[in-house]
Amino acid sequence: MADIRPFCMPKWGIEMTEGTIAEWMVKEGDAFTRGQTLCLIETAKITNEVDAEYDAVVRRMLVGAGGEAEPVGTLLAVFAEPAATDAEIDAFIAAFRPADTQVAAKAGDSAPPPAAAAPAPPPAPAAAPKKIVTNRAISPEALKLAEAEGVDIEDIEGSGPGGRITYQDVHQAMRPAAPPALRGTAPLDAEVARIFASPLARRIAARHGIDLSALTGTGARGRISKGDVLALVPQPSAAPIGFGTPHFVPGENRPQIVPFDKIRKIVARRLTEAKQQIPHFYLRVSAQADALVALRKTANVILGCKASINDYIVKATAVALVRHPDVNVQVHGEEIHRFPHADVAIAVASPKGLVTPIVRQADRMRIDQIAAATRALIDKAAAGRLSYDEMDGGTFSVSNLGMFGIEQFDAIINPPQGAILAVGGINRVPVETDDGGIAFESRIGLTLSVDHRAIDGAAGAQFLATLKSLIEDPEALFA
């Protein structure tokens, strides 16, 4: 028998339970070599490239790109040698079982009871469900239901992403074609009754003569909602109003409903837990920034780099953390983990939400090395290509909104870290000189959010004092 191998949903990190195929780099029938990128898999935190570990041919793809999230261990594709027959591939798929059924099973499914040691043969065994072989995108549960009930899936229009057939689509296809009894509307023919729409949407469509079959629903599983139909209802034109007439007729203000994506869900959950469970307190200070601004221009020319003010803040923060290890900590239950080096996470706004990639051991890096590292991480975040290793850990976080004109703000701690630094913009402010006159200087606002369970106020204040001195005397960063 030819060598046939499964390609299953991988597991990265203990928190990963499911993933989504974001893009296939190969198609069914393609031959690939070891090291070639096969696909991009998106999780709640990252998007990872999956490379081939051996040479083979893509014989069958079971999960398409852009579909629903699949549990860890789900069979995504089958790879084999060219000599493998279709019958062997079908038999392999039919016999495949995930290595860990508890992980691969969907929530709400229950494992089948173990077979008895010596079961008696039933007097009249029922015929096994007819297996369905298709190239259409269909969820495993929908395929199982269609096989059990003998439903022809070729005539079903999938409502899932990319036209994928869902469990609800198969269940809907099993329903009788008789029209539902709707009060206040004319009787529906069988074809209209099969359209997946809410009762209110049907009534509005019937009242205004709108063909529901031409609509694409925006509701759950492609259901046509009231808003979808109202968007096609012609609005009455308002009578012309004379110039200067103090009359205003407001139109309908319907919201655009945007569901949370995976990253925003996880960020929302973690920030809510952090704010509820971590006793925050805040320390605020401002530092004179004229010397830092002037040094940056000169140093960038000498080093041949384009380090930003934030790169210098990261460097100064890392140096201050090493001098104050009581702040360079993580909190794990009733334990405090102190670190000898500073792994500084930087908050980055990406198209998928807020992410915090990490500059490892920033205290040991030069300014030009930090600038190169942060630029690479920001570019990866913008492309959605940050790996799990680039996001995992971190001993401290820096969140900078100064480039947006924000003077000062309070950041939420990123657990399990013990503190986070919020950096505002650099502003010109008037100050009194020694001779009683008025002069202007540049100042930058800093706010330290601290976990009071692990870090005392005095320790946080001493850290901020060191950080302020490094910003006001930036030549010490090159010592």
pLDDT digits (tens, 9 = 90+) for 181-210: 444 444 555 555 667 777 777 888 888 888
CATH match for 4-104 among 3.40.50.300, 2.40.50.100, 1.10.3720.10, 1.10.4190.10:
2.40.50.100
| Separation CA 57–CA 83 (nearest Å) | 10
What pLDDT tens digit does each residue of the chain (479 aa) get? 568 889 998 887 777 788 888 888 898 889 998 888 898 888 766 777 888 888 889 999 998 887 788 888 889 999 988 888 888 888 889 888 876 544 444 444 444 444 444 444 454 454 556 677 676 778 777 788 888 877 877 778 776 776 778 777 777 777 665 454 444 444 555 555 667 777 777 888 888 888 887 788 887 667 788 888 888 887 665 555 555 556 677 878 888 888 877 777 777 888 888 999 999 999 999 999 999 999 999 998 888 889 999 999 999 999 999 999 999 999 998 999 999 999 999 999 887 778 899 999 999 999 999 999 999 999 998 888 888 888 888 999 999 999 999 999 999 999 999 999 999 999 999 988 888 889 999 999 999 999 999 999 999 999 999 999 999 999 999 87
Question: What is the CATH code for 262-478?
Answer: 3.30.559.10
In this structure, are strands 18-24 and 358-359 parallel, antiparallel, or unpaired?
Answer: unpaired
| Separation CA 340–CA 338 (nearest Å) | 7
Asked if the 190-230 domain carries CATH number 3.40.50.720, the reply is no
Instruction: Give the pLDDT confidence score for residue 165 in this predicted structure.
Output: 82
Catalytic residue list: 452
Instruction: Give the pLDDT confidence score for residue 166 in this predicted structure.
Output: 79
Instruction: Give the pLDDT confidence score for residue 260 in this predicted structure.
Output: 78
**Greatest extent of the chain over all pairs of C-alpha atoms, in Å:** 108
Q: Among 365, 347, 350, which Cα is nearest to 307's?
A: 365
Residues of the chain with CATH 3.30.559.10: 262-478
Q: Looking at the domain 140-174, which fold is it?
A: Dihydrolipoamide Transferase (4.10.320)
Instruction: Give the pLDDT confidence score for residue 386 in this predicted structure.
Output: 84
Write the CA distances from 195 to 152, 159, 164, 209, 221, integer angstroms. 18, 12, 17, 15, 12
Instruction: Give the pLDDT confidence score for residue 241 in this predicted structure.
Output: 53
Instruction: Give the pLDDT confidence score for residue 169 in this predicted structure.
Output: 75
Instruction: Give the pLDDT confidence score for residue 387 in this predicted structure.
Output: 83
C-alpha gyration radius of the chain: 30
Residues of the chain with CATH 2.40.50.100: 4-104
Q: Among 328, 363, 360, which Cα is nearest to 346's?
A: 360
